[in-house]
Every structure is written in C-alpha cells, then in structure tokens.
C-alpha cells in the first residue's frame, strides 16, 4: 500500500482509462467479438399492425445456397412463459404491431441472410388496427402503478376548491410526441450454445438481468448462462433489459447448432427496442396574486401496447417540485396496436417537467413575477407529498448562481421586443430534477502479487465513464495511484451489480467498491502488507446497508437557462446559448460530469426542436425510421453550451457523497427553450417539437 502523500483521485479530471482502447479500435463491442464458425441472422417483420400470421412460405429462402434455417412460429422451439411478452418471439401467430418479428433467417453470411429474408413470404389475416392516442378514446384506463413502482394517482387537499377560488389560474394542455432511443451502437447479439450452456456477447446496460431473463426463457440454470458486454456504445434506457433480438439469436443458435450473430438495423430499432411514449398533459395551477401556489393538478395520458404494459411516470416530478397545499396527479393509459414504450433517458421527469416548467412560466407571466422569483417563492421545506426531509436540496442556489452566470438580471420580461437584425431574441429558464437511487450491489477487489489491484463488479460502462469513476473510487479507498487499478465490468460472471440506469451506477457499484476495498485493506493489515503469490481478495455486498438508509427525500436538482434566436419570417429557431447549473452531490470527475451534463442538454435541445417519431395511421408504422428523416442535432446546432455545479456533498446517500448525473441534464432543457421561444416571439408552443410551422401564422 502507498504511504507517500498523493492528490485524491476523486474530484480530479482523470481522462477515460479505456480511452486509448476506444480510439484505437481495440475495445470490442457486441458484434465485434470474433467467434469461430459464426453464422448470421436476418429478421422478417410483420407487414400488418394487427391480426394473425396465416402462413410462412420459406421455400425460396431455403433454396438459396448458404441458408441454414428459416424460423417462425411454425417451427420454433418452445420458450417458457415470461412477464414480458415482447420476448416471446415466434411463440404465437398473433401480430400486435407492425414490425413485430414473424420470422428469422440464418445463413453462412449476412448478405445471404438478408437476401433470403426478403424471399420469405408471409400471409396474414389482418384486422382493423388502432394506433392513435387521443383523449376521447373509450378504452383509456388507470394503471395500477407507473414506472418503476409509483402509485398512478396521488391527491392531497382539495385542489378543485383551490382552483375555483384562486386569484390566478393557468389551465393548459401540453403534448410531447413519441421519440426513439438512437444509440450509436445498434442492439446486437452473438449467441453460442455449448454443452447446454449459453454464452451471449450482448450490447446491454445490465448483463446480470439479461442473464436471468435468458435463463428463465430457456429454462436453464442461471449459472449456465453468461452475458458478456465489456463495452456498450450508448443505450439511454433502450438496452436496460433483454430485447427480442437476443432471444432470436439464442433460439437460432440452438436450432442450427452453431453460433449466431444478429445486429438490428436502424429501422428495426424503431420497432423492437422501445421508445418514449407520446404524452398529452393537462396542467392546472392556482396561485395568489403574489405567485404563491395554492394548487397543482397534473393529469397525464400516454400509450402502451396491447401485449406488455409500460406506464411512464410522467407526473411524479410534479409531486416533489413545489410547495402547494392542494395537489393532484393522475396517469391514464391507452393500449394500442403499437410497439411497447420503454425507458428513455429520464423517463417521466423529462416529458413531465417540460409541461410543468412551461406552465410555471405561464404562471409567472400571469402574475407579472420573474420566473426565477416565482420558483424561489414556492420552494418547499420538505418533500411536499411524503413530508420527508431532504437529504439535500439546492435548487435555489442553482437558480441564483445560474442566473448570475447567464446574465439574467438584464432581461426585459416583455415578449417580442429584443432584436438582432432579422432575429428575435429571447431567454428562458426551467428547473430540473431527478431522483437519487441506490441499489444494493456486490463487488470484489483483489490485490495481486505484481502490486496491481483488480476491481470486479457486474456493472456497465455505456459511455458514461463508469470504469474511470470506479478506478478513482478504488484508488482513493486503497490509497494507491489510479494507474495501479484495473476495473472489470460488463460480465454476468462478475459479482452482481444493478443495471446501468436510473442514474444509480456510481452510487450503487461505487458504494460496493468502497466497502470491498475497505475489507481488502483490513485483510492486508492482518497480513502485515504481504501479498501471497495467489493474491488476496475481498468481497462486499451492500444490500443490507442500502436497506438501512434513513428515510429521506433524495433528489438531484438543477436549473437550465436558454437563449434563442427566432427568424419571424421563416420560423427558424437557433439556440446560441445553453447553461445548466446543477446540485448533484459530490462531483467525482469534473471532465466526465461536464460531458454527461452537456450530452443530456443536447438531447433536451433535440427534444425541443427536432425529434418526433411520425406514425402512419394507415399502416401503423413509424415513417421516419432512419437518420435521413429522424432529425437530431448536428454540431452546428449545438453552439455555446456549458454546465456548472454548486458545491454539494450529501453524506446521506452513499460513501462518496455523490448523486447520479446521467439523466438530469435532459430534464428541463426543452422547457427552458420553449420558454425562451415565447419570450422571443410572444408565441407559446405547447406541442413539441417547436417547428417552423408552429411559429408562422
């Protein structure tokens, strides 16, 4: 163990420890693993949105040289029943949405597999489909819970009475479209069966959970399944659980008796890997003339599929943001003939805070109060609905410090009065929040005779820099230089850790790494610092520690500031400046933190101005299912974007005092831009994205 003084690793801007591997192409992603004898699969998706498959004719496909099998519900091996019906591929003739898998071809080459897939002929008995989300639909219902396990509805006080007697009332409806996760690396799998054991090289945010799903589906002992995922090229929630392609790969490998590789095309990802549900949100705010909120009512309508329910927690952030004695939130679902929605960066908080923070801006204008002052006036002393004390809450500091950095004090609140040549100029603000989760995790650390240390945990680095952060945590706990630490991630054979989701990776895996390193130091002390030839290992499991955490309200907070330029003749919107100010506990690595914040803010800008998945009502399919038509920002769209943070160390969360940062950057950004557009033009856009036609009369 080191004895010389050294600078702490935590808090330093250590560059990514796997950066060289990635820029030199040595980091292997799922589809890049070299497996002997690998074959290739290609998919056939349903051409109807609802009905049944009447027959599958594989004659022409099987006649092609190199084709090994065509698999459909007519000949596929049987799988066990699972809760997620999306994974029951080829188990039924029913078609629940356009693009649902109806067949797969396995061939010696990818080119042959794709050619053969185009030769498979599928006959259907179609029924009339229903894919339109609308508030007057007769089948709207209340789910039992919303993701992950929140009550669908909450109510406190008499909101209707407060709305009826208030000095000022805002009652508006806001809409967000369906948007799709589009990570750079597509969902990909290589499945290998050997002696009844299954190994899968997979692009996943959670190798352990994926392993458990496969074991259940194929009715094998989880110890006979291994999921390997050392590097992941982005996920944003879409890789948080097993998706249909991994089941197809494993099924096909069992059928042909050889390894099978399957990587989804960009178009297939629009059907098979989840998306953010569209929402229709009604916000009602009641306030005194001084801006003090008397009531908040947030009613949400969103969609799910007919085969698996997913209810996004869109109104849950409203439950904790601002003080009001009377409050009500509701979630309603409509099951349609569409793919199942799922997690996408900051599920719930992202669309919900767009609506809430837009309504707060409208209330500030109605009360003639500065939008920042309005938010500060309604700062709650405790979490409004639970009454729990905050572990820490520094939203006011974010608003004030961010305003000073942004130059908010010079703002003329009058809409449509600032110009720069042909451009109208406006500024806007919105709050952001995200829950601080921590899950029990296991970790191992080994001291090796060569003087190095190996840290092992079944976490995932999805591009966030998890390897680097865990290296810093281990180095400080062991009191050794970072270059002596090796971190192993992304393998279900490692000590089990939770999914890389919910912004809980560092808090969960890192807490276990701290405890494992502490245990190792104790073992080494007993040995007098001597390390035997076979090394010394220590294990830790933080499940009991997490279960015993005090009952506090744990959330990260932030404030987003935006400046926009709007051309009144063309409706073009530009965003020359974005600033995010955050209170997220101890910042572990400033370089990586800034990267996460500005990445999230860029996605928020994309949500505000570009992204929407357009549904063809006639065929039930998404029309813009490639990057030629599904628009995201380019470098020219992201100009002066910056992130900063207040000094906050929260020792009620984990041994590091950190909060999650991966998702809060997207929350609030779209509302800040929408509020700035109103300030620039006097036009309130309540339906995203803010396109030119919505700004030109």
Provide the annotated active-site residues: 663
Tell me if 495 sits within 8 A of 508, measured CB to CB. Answer: no
Query: Could you tell me which residues come within 8 angstroms of residue 423 by beta carbon, excluding any fewer than 6 positions away?
Result: 565, 566, 567, 574
Segment (H or E) for 1: none
User: Can you list the alpha helix ranges (DSSP code H) found in 92-238?
Assistant: 110-119, 159-164, 207-218
Distance (Å, rounded) from C-alpha 364 to C-alpha 374?
6
Of 508, 502, 553, 460, nearest to 662 by C-alpha is 502
Distance (Å, rounded) from C-alpha 286 to C-alpha 647?
34
DSSP state of 250: H
List residues bridging with 557 in a β-sheet.
433, 583
Query: Could you tell me which residues come within 8 angstroms of residue 264 by beta carbon, excluding any fewer than 6 positions away?
Result: 43, 186, 187, 188, 245, 272, 273
Tell me if 357 sits within 8 A of 668, measured CB to CB. Answer: yes
| Token digits of residue 114 | 């794709």
**3-state secondary structure (DSSP) of residue 349:** helix
Distance (Å, rounded) from C-alpha 304 to C-alpha 271?
13
**3-state secondary structure (DSSP) of residue 282:** strand
| HEC sequence for 480-514 | CCHHHEEEECCECCCCECCCCCCCCHHHHHHHHHH
First to last CA, the chain: 70
Distance (Å, rounded) from C-alpha 205 to C-alpha 462?
7
Tell me if 544 sits within 8 A of 473, measured CB to CB. Answer: no
**3-state secondary structure (DSSP) of residue 82:** coil
Distance (Å, rounded) from C-alpha 509 to C-alpha 493?
15
- Furthest CA-CA distance within the chain: 79
CA distances from 250 to 112, 214, 262, 585 (A): 20, 9, 10, 42
CA distances from 493 to 95, 196, 230, 445, 496 (A): 36, 17, 12, 15, 8
């Amino acid at each position: 163990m080191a004895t010389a003084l050294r600078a702490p690793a935590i808090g330093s801007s250590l560059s990514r420890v796997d950066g060289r591997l990635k820029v030199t192409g040595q980091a292997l992603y799922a589809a890049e693993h070299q497996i002997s004898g690998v074959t290739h699969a290609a998919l056939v998706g349903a051409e109807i949105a609802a009905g049944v498959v009447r027959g599958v004719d594989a004659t022409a496909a099987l006649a092609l040289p190199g084709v090994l099998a065509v698999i459909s519900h007519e000949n596929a091996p049987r799988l066990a029943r699972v809760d997620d019906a999306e994974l029951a591929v080829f188990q039924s003739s029913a078609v629940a949405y356009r693009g649902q898998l109806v067949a797969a071809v396995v061939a010696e080459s990818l080119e042959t597999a794709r050619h053969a897939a185009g030769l498979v002929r599928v006959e259907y008995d179609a029924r009339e489909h229903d894919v339109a989300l609308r508030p007057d639909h007769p089948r709207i219902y209340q789910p039992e819970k919303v993701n992950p396990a929140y009550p669908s509805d909450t109510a406190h006080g008499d909101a209707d009475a407060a709305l009826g007697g208030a000095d000022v009332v805002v009652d508006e409806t806001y809409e967000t479209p369906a948007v799709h996760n589009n990570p750079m690396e597509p969902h990909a799998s290589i499945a290998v069966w050997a002696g009844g054991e299954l190994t899968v090289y997979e692009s996943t945010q959670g190798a352990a959970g994926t392993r458990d799903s496969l074991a259940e589906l194929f009715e094998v002992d989880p110890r006979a399944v291994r999921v390997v995922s050392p590097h992941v090229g982005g996920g944003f929630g879409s890789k948080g659980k097993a998706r249909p392609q991994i089941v197809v790969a494993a099924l096909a490998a069992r059928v042909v008796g050889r390894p099978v590789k399957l990587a989804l095309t960009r178009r297939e990802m629009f059907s098979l890997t989840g998306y953010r549900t569209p929402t229709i949100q009604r916000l009602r705010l009641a306030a005194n003339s001084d801006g003090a909120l008397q009531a908040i009512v947030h009613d949400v309508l969103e969609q799910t599929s007919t085969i698996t329910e997913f209810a996004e927690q869109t109104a849950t952030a409203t439950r904790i943001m601002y003080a009001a004695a009377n409050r009500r939130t509701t979630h309603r679902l409509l099951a349609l003939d569409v793919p199942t929605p799922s997690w996408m960066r900051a599920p719930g908080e992202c669309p919900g805070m767009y609506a809430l923070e837009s309504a707060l801006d409208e209330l500030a204008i109605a009360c003639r109060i500065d939008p920042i002052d309005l938010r500060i006036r309604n700062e709650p002393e405790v979490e409004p609905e639970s009454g729990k004390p905050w572990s820490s809450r520094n939203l006011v500091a974010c608003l004030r410090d961010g305003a000073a950095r942004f130059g908010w004090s010079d703002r003329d609140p009058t809409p449509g009065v600032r110009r720069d040549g042909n451009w109208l100029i406006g500024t806007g603000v919105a709050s952001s929040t995200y829950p601080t989760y921590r899950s029990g995790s296991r970790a191992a650390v080994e001291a090796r005779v060569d003087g190095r240390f190996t840290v092992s945990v079944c976490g995932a680095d999805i591009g966030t820099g998890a390897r680097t952060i865990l290296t810093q945590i281990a180095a400080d706990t062991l009191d050794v230089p970072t270059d002596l630490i090796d971190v192993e991630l992304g393998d279900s054979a490692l000590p089990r850790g939770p999914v890389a989701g919910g912004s809980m990776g560092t808090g969960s895996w890192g807490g276990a790494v701290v405890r494992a390193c502490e245990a190792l130091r104790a073992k080494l002390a007993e040995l007098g610092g001597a390390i035997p030839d076979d090394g010394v290992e220590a294990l830790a499991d933080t499940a009991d520690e997490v279960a015993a955490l005090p009952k506090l309200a744990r959330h990260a907070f932030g404030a987003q500031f935006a400046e926009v330029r709007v051309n009144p003749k063309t409706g073009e919107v530009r965003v020359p400046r974005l600033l995010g100010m955050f209170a997220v506990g101890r910042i572990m690595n400033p370089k990586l933190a800034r990267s996460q914040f500005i990445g999230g803010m860029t996605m928020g800008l994309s949500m505000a101005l570009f992204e929407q998945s357009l549904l063809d009502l006639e065929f039930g399919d998404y029309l813009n299912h490639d990057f030629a038509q599904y628009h995201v920002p380019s470098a020219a769209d992201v100009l002066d974007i910056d992130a900063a943070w207040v000094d906050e160390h929260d020792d009620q969360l984990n041994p590091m005092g950190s909060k999650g940062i991966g998702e809060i950057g997207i929350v609030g950004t779209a509302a800040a831009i929408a509020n700035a557009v109103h300030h620039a033009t006097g036009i309130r856009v309540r339906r995203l994205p803010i396109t030119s036609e919505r700004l030109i009369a």
